[in-house]
Structure 1
Amino acid sequence: MQNPISITAISSISPLGKNSDDIWNNYLNHSHCFTEKDGVLVATFPKELKADIEQLRQSNSKYKSLDNSVLYAIFASRQAIKSANWKSTDNFGINIGSSRGATALFEHYHEEFLLNKKAETLSSPTTTLGNISSWIAHDLQTKGPEISHSITCSTALHAMLNGIAWINSGMCDKFLVGGSEAPLTPFTIAQMQALKIYSRANSHPEQGEESLSPNQALNLNKTENTMILGEGAAMACLESGVTKNALAKIIGIGYATEILEHNASLSTDAICFQRSMAMAIGNKKPEDIDIIVTHTPGTIKGDQAEINAIQKIFCNKIPALTTNKWKIGHSLGASGLLSIEMAVMMLQHQQFISVPYLKTETPKRIKHILVNAVGFGGNAVSILLSK
């Protein structure tokens, strides 16, 4: 990196809640957020947050036709901008992405098309990925650049890379970056089930066992895939240099893509992660990294590949490992920024958030945290954060 970048605000909505105090307190307990819906395990928003989203939808006649992925992004972006004390007149850009985009609307419109052999008027403009950043720019009344993209599950961290690049180029002073995902739709879940990576509703660990979560992310002893989808949106406000109000600073970035071995899988040793982590760490020693927030979605091969990559890079000095997917599931394009938020909270509180079934040495002090994300096809990103 040319210069450090400050994270001056971070905001999210997820099954953990909508404000930092609730989110932190929910991280400190060993309860998960999964419920069964129509025979499928999912991680949904609390009732109060669902009501807030519905209130946002009804607050503007234009918003009634928007997909939840857009509404989630607007809600979280408002919170982030308010926390950072940014104004619409500030010269800041927007890059919010999504893996699946407007899944619910697309499924609805397609069902109507099959029935009536005619597309509804707004079926095209309300299902484009560009919707997310465009509507945020409209809602916040900004005039800077706005970008939407999909790089599957590494989307949010790629948005962070883009924001850093724009700031360091001098083309923008600040950037709002993140991801939003509303994937709890029948067809989206069916796609994950078709890949045979989704957790089975009847495969819960029994009550009384130490590992109660049906998503066994980072448990390398699991005998079946346990990924579960969760909804969420997370946004970060980035500013150049080290600011007085910085929650954390970005001191290293890494990215890599590997040649596909399979349409959806990483190589056995996750070559892309090895390259992205090495790039993000730079000249620092392995022992300088206190924690890694892993991508590990809860699949047997995916989790093991990332661990193999970590072992290759860190050898005998493995940092403390953690993840939030055992608790809130995989929010696809939003997951990377939710991991960033988790890392920032650990830096702020100087407290390690553990995984209940994973034995790892708790760091004595927390100064540097590495956050990983990867998407289908091996699009890996690693971000190094510091106090």
Structure 2
Amino acid sequence: MQSLNPPTLRTTPLTPFLTKSPNSTAKPKRISFITASTTTTAAAAVSAPKREKDPKKRVVVTGMGLASVFGNNVDEYYEKLLSGESGISLIDRFDASKFPTRFGGQIRGFSAEGYIDGKNDRRLDDCLRYCIVAGKKALENADLGSDNLSKINKQRAGVLVGSGMGGLQVFSDSVKALNEKGHRKITPFFIPYAITNMGSALLGIDLGFMGPNYSISTACATSNYCFYAAANHIRRGDADLMIAGGTEAAIVPIGLGGFVACRALSQRNDDPKTASRPWDKDRDGFVMGEGSGVLVLESLEHALKRGAPIIAEYLGGAINCDAYHMTDPRSDGLGVSSCIQSCLEDAGVSPEEVNYINAHATSTLAGDLAEINAIKKVFKDTNGIKINATKSMIGHCLGASGGLEAIATVKAITTGWLHPSINQFNPEPAVDFDTVANVKQQHEVNVAISNSFGFGGHNSVVAFSAFKP
């Protein structure tokens, strides 16, 4: 805490420090002061980035799974992104004709066959269905299908899949039942299927995973918070393997109506496919999406021991809070820029090593430029950095967005192709990055970061790279 009356600054040289009292006749001994150049060199040596080398603490991605507007297959999802296809269309799950926004990234034809038994599938909120299917598909991708699960210690395997909204449909249905028919008509599954932790819980129960199991709910920053926490469980030795990410199913009347009330959504009903326009001058709000995106994270030691397919490496992450406003970003960008910087420090990466950013980029008037300004504070030279906006095609999937974008980020690393940011018609001049506008680009990714920010001022950033033994 600073003093209310700070001392006056000295303008004359300090008296040399004495080894004896001032009355002593002995010659005073001067303290040897470090020169500025030496200090700078020493500080640089201390702050030089160092990547983790301990195989018990190195965290690798061994599996990816999703439920998305482009289906449940990771490769097909990324092919759709690379082709610049929009997954946005008019909502037909319910009558949206009276809403000022009538479109979104609605998932159609979702099937949980083979992953959830029929009886439970009919009961579950879509938020839970997406989570369970994405989680089991990620395990299959990690060569841990049902036959191979016995090869791992389930007491050291955990699940950390969060949600910003939870089971919104079952919540809405139960409120309707209460109002229309009384409390006796509320389903006994209302509470279990509405709370945000149940996706992780049901997946853990299904798999028999007894390690860390919970959810984090930090609005649209949720998935990255989960990756960060899950990786730290592995680094601390709490678990060998974690399924982590986010899930969301908020395209229901109360979800759509709530965001309409916030005045956050685009109203481009005449042309939904071009409604999500990150960094475009004519953007008018975000587009709701839904789905789930999860990663299987393991310690390198554990992955090598079981011969796992190592897809990429999780280098590090960071989380913090703007401490500023419920929904608006900080005007000075301090929260986001410091979160990015902390992520790089945790990852052992210098800013110069980063050459790809999967941006939060929601297509909101304030948010898009606030993120760009914060990025510029960390990365002084933007020439070698490419950024893109996954939300331009799948919409803003709220708590699941970071999970689906992490998968896109890892696929960019493994394929060498960046998906476009579509609907770049009238670019903001302040965005002096290569935004991979409208057409995919070939790009060898060195280090990638993925940004996610949420209502409440929650900031989260994670970093990935190709795996190098």
| Number of equivalenced pairs | 374
Contact preservation (8 Å) 2:224, 2:460: yes
* Structure 2 runs not aligned, ≥5 long: 1-50, 428-433
* Offset, 1:138: 1.8
Give the C-alpha shift of residue 173 in structure 1: 0.9
Which residue of structure 2 lines up, in the alignment, with residue 96 of structure 1?
A: 161
Q: 1:258 aligns with which of 322, 325, 350?
A: 322
Tell me, yes or no, if the aligned pair for 1:256 and 1:381 is still in contact at 8 Å. Answer: yes
**2:235 is aligned with 1:168:** yes
Identity of aligned residues (%): 23
Distance 2:142 2:113 in 1: 25
The alpha carbon displacement at 1:377 in A equals 1.6
Matched to 2:79, the amino acid is N
Deviation of 1:55 after TM superposition, in Å, equals 7.4
What is the DSSP-based 3-state SS (H/G/I as helix, E as strand, rest coil) of the residue aligned with 2:287? coil
Residue number among 200, 223, 227 corresponding to 1:156 in the alignment = 223
Instruction: Determine if the alignment matches structure 1 residue 346 to structure 2 residue 425.
Output: no
Shift of 1:290: 1.0
Q: Which has the higher mean CA deviation after the structures are superposed, 142-151 or 10-19?
A: 142-151
Cα shift readout 1:151-173 (whole Å, capped 9, x = no counterpart)? 11111111111111111111111
CA contact (8 A) 2:450 2:462 kept: yes
Correspondence for 2:206: 139
Rounded Cα–Cα distance in structure 1 between residues aligned with 2:311 and 2:388? 20
Q: Does 1:72 align with 2:130?
A: yes
Equivalents in 2 of 1:56, 1:239: separation in Å? 23
Q: Answer whether contact 2:58 2:235 (CA < 8 A) is retained.
A: no
Query: Which amino acid in structure 1 is aligned with residue 124 of structure 2?
Result: L
Residue 85 of structure 1 corresponds to which residue in structure 2? 143
Matched, 1:372 2:451: yes
Letter in 2 for 1:287: E
* Residue of structure 2 equivalent to 1:208: none
Paired letter, 1:146: N
- State the partner residue of 1:43: 105
Whether the 8 Å contact between 1:106 and 1:127 is mirrored in structure 2 is yes
Contact 2:90-2:103 within 8 A present in 1 as well: yes
What's 1:214 paired with?
275
Rounded Cα–Cα distance in structure 2 between residues aligned with 1:55 and 1:213: 35
Q: 1:360 to 1:112 in 2, by over 3 A?
A: closer
Deviates more, 1:20-29 or 1:329-338: 20-29
Please tell me the root mean square deviation across aligned C-alpha atoms, in Å: 2.1
1:200, distance to aligned residue in structure 2 (A): 0.7
Output the CA distance in 1 between the equivalents of 2:297 and 2:115: 25
Distance in 2 of aligned mates of 1:124 and 1:255: 29
Report whether the alignment pairs 1:295 with 2:349.
Answer: no
For 1:349 and 1:46, locate their aligned partners in 2 and report how far apart those are by CA, in whole Å: 28
- 1:374 Cα shift? 0.9
CA deviations on 1:181-238 (whole Å, 9 max, x unpaired) are: 0111011111111111101143538xxxxxx62111232x12x523111111111011
Does the aligned pair in 1 maintain the 2:142–2:296 contact within 8 Å?
yes
Residue segments in structure 1 that go unaligned for 5+ positions in a row: 206-211
**Quick check: 1:291–1:363 contact (8 Å CA) kept in 2?**
no
Q: Give CA deviations for 1:355-387 in whole Å, capped at 9, x if unaligned.
A: 132654767521111100111122111111111
Q: Which of 374, 399, 413 does residue 333 from structure 1 map onto?
A: 399
* Distance in 1 between residues matched to 2:143 and 2:381, nearest whole Å: 44
Normalising by structure 1, report the TM-score.
0.91
Match of 1:321 in 2: 387
Structure 1 position 18, deviation (Å): 1.3
TM-score (norm 2): 0.75
Which one of the candidate residues 234, 247, 252 is aligned to 1:180? Answer: 247
**Structure 1 position 81, deviation (Å):** 1.0
- When Rg is computed on C-alpha atoms for both structures, the one with the higher figure is 2
The residue type paired with residue 316 of structure 1 is D
Looking at structure 2, the residues matched to 143 and 285 of structure 1 have their Cα atoms a distance apart, in angstroms, of 37
Partner residue in 1 for 2:332: 269
Measured in 2, the distance between the counterparts of 1:64 and 1:364 equals 44
Q: Is the 8 A contact 1:41 1:199 kept in 2?
A: no
Q: Distance in 2 between matches of 1:302 and 1:164?
A: 28
Q: 2:86 aligns with which of 20, 32, 42?
A: 32
CA contact (8 A) 1:286 1:317 kept: no
The answer to whether residue 64 in structure 2 is matched with residue 10 in structure 1 is yes
